Amino acid sequence: MNITGIEYHSELIVKPIPRNTPVSYLDKDTDKVQLVEDFIVSFLLDGVYQKITVPKNYITDGSTIPRIFWRIYSPFYTEARWASCVHDYFYSHLYTQYPKEVADLVLKEFMLHDGASEWTAGIFYRAVRLNYNGGGWNGK
């Protein structure tokens, strides 16, 4: 699989919401933010145009990073913020339309697009590839 031609058609604008806000696809005790408006992205997946709209009011918790590593990478690590939002949306809502491999590759390629180093994007990518319990693919 190959992802190219990444474009953002809107800004990612979010507001913090209470940690204990119930969200079926997120852990109850993670920091959460809610989209203030639609977040629209596009990319080519093996040369085929894909356009994704993460809708207004969608709730995300950024990157799911164990607290022990927050000194290195916070859940809202700058080069992963936009990528993590799109990745979360794949996991929570697009799992019937795309395989998990696409969602995980989107995270990596969007991070690289946003200035992450190959090393950092690779760490995030390997971490989500090892997450066998994540997303709708496994009934979560």
Q: What is the CA radius of gyration of the chain?
A: 14
Per-residue pLDDT, 104: 94
- Bigger pLDDT: 64 vs 138: 64
Average pLDDT score over residue span 123-129: 88
pLDDT higher than 60, residue 125? yes
According to the model, what pLDDT value does residue 91 have?
A: 92
Query: How far, in Å, are 8, 104, 108 from residue 113 at the CA level?
Result: 11, 14, 9
Global pTM reads 0.91
pLDDT band at residue 58, thresholds of 50, 70 and 90? very high
HEC string of 66-102? CHHHCCCCCCCCHHHHHHHHHHHHHHHHCCCCCCHHH
Helix axes 100-113, 118-129, angle to 10 degrees: 160
Domain boundaries, the chain: 3-138
Question: Nearest 5 degrees, angle CA 12-CA 87-CA 50?
Answer: 85
Q: How confident is the model at residue 128 (pLDDT cuts 50, 70, 90)?
A: confident
Tell me the CA end-to-end span of the chain in Å, nearest whole number: 25
Number of residues that make up the chain: 140
Contact indicator for 29, 67 with CB cutoff of 8 Å: no
pLDDT, one tens digit per residue, over 83-123 is: 999 999 999 999 999 999 999 999 999 999 999 999 999 98
